[in-house]
Amino acid sequence: MLSKVVCVTMPGMAPFEFGVICEVFGIDRGAHGGPAFDFHVTAAEPGPVRTKLGFDIVVTEDLSAAADADLVAIPAYQEGTSIHPEILRVVREAEARGAWVLSVCSGAFVLGAAGILDGRRSTTHWMYTEALALAYPKTEVDPDVLFVEDRRVVTGAGTAAGIDAALHIVRKELGAAAANIIARRMVVPPQRDGGQSQFIQAPVTDCRSDSFAAVTEWMLHNLDQELTVDSLARQSLMSPRTFARRFRAELGTTPTAWLNRQRLLRAQQLLEETSRSLEEVAADTGFGAAAVMRHHFVKVLQTTPTAYRRTFGGSRVR
């Protein structure tokens, strides 16, 4: 079970990505029913650590704290920064004992230098995917996703995708309810659809216009209904073709894929927090039948609803 989390800092690290790791794992959410991790910030050489923006963060703990960590997290760092050999040792040892290893953005290069991406899929910021593939040809780099998990090694894509990657680990270890509590406090979606390819060489836009904020909220309140593109288009006062095109452009996925993801998240919540039968959960979430719901669980979560309830049902989060 995820308990002890160690963030490894290094000169030239990016403050935002460092802050993502601290925000997800470093704050006690117990008062709100969420998790409280044993969180440590470490450095190969404790003391002032200069960030890529030129200010220092004072780190008091050395890398010995990572010896029994359940998760070792590496934030992004400035290109060209030399990697201390003790950091590479810590990453290798964490992977060898079966602990989680997380990198955010360019932090993937530390994992590559440690050799733990060999034979694994990975990702990083879209600006660096080609460089990662060239530097470490034994890893299969996916440039289009927000994060990749491959046998407990999680690589996050650019910058804010570190939130998605970190919440994914929380969700896998503690369940959807724990991830949702953290996401709600951070005012971010508990799970985003689409990949980082939607951000490449594109202007920054609000991914949810007023019209789509309204219709997606309506969809969430009507997941148990048959929601077709035609009916959603009518709700949005658009033609079906225009609705489907604009939905994908603004939310990075199709209406059907978005609905299936939200239905899956709702089903996870019901399996964790209620004793409803699988058929009832399937009906309440719009899957219609337990067999259909099972198909989506296996496809996306690599587990069955029954196994998920066995793992996360009841009060797993204190």
Separation of alpha carbons 152 and 138, rounded Å: 17
Q: Would 207 be classed as within a structural domain?
A: no
Decide: residue 208, CB within 10 A, 0-12 exposed, 13-18 middle, 19+ buried.
middle
Same domain? 35 vs 181 = yes
CA neighbor of 150 nearest in space, from 192, 183, 103: 103
Same domain? 112 vs 228 = no
Q: Are 91 and 73 in contact (CB under 8 A)?
A: no
Same domain? 285 vs 222 = yes
The pLDDT tens digits along the chain (318 residues) read 899 999 999 999 999 999 999 999 999 999 989 999 999 999 999 999 999 999 999 999 999 999 999 999 999 999 888 999 999 999 999 999 999 999 999 999 999 999 999 999 999 998 999 999 999 999 999 988 889 999 999 999 988 899 999 999 999 999 988 998 998 889 887 766 555 644 544 333 334 445 678 888 899 999 999 999 999 999 888 999 999 999 888 877 889 988 998 999 899 889 988 999 999 999 999 999 999 999 999 888 778 999 888 877 765 443
Q: Which residues contact 104 (CB under 8 A, 6 or more apart)?
A: 17, 20, 21, 73, 74, 75, 76, 156, 159, 161, 162, 165, 166
- The CATH number that applies at residue 252 is 1.10.10.60
Per 3-state DSSP, the chain is made up of helix, strand and coil in percentages (nearest 5) of 50, 15, 35
Same domain? 167 vs 246 = no
Same domain? 32 vs 177 = yes
Pairing of strands 153-156, 147-150: antiparallel
Same domain? 178 vs 218 = no
Separation of alpha carbons 110 and 153, rounded Å: 12
Q: Are 14 and 76 in contact (CB under 8 A)?
A: yes
Strand segments, DSSP code E, in 32-136 are 38-43, 47-50, 56-59, 71-74, 100-103, 121-122
Q: Would 203 be classed as within a structural domain?
A: no
Tell the residue number behind the tokens 């609705």, with chain if given.
Answer: 243
Indicate the DSSP class of residue 102. E
Q: Whole domain around residue 251: which residue ranges?
A: 212-312
Q: Would 280 be classed as within a structural domain?
A: yes
Same domain? 179 vs 216 = no
Same domain? 233 vs 280 = yes
- The CATH number that applies at residue 153 is 3.40.50.880
Q: Would 154 be classed as within a structural domain?
A: yes
What's the pLDDT score for residue 205?
Answer: 32
CA neighbor of 285 nearest in space, from 309, 301, 306, 261: 261
First to last CA, the chain: 13
Picking from 152, 186, 220, the residue at the C-terminal end of a domain is 186
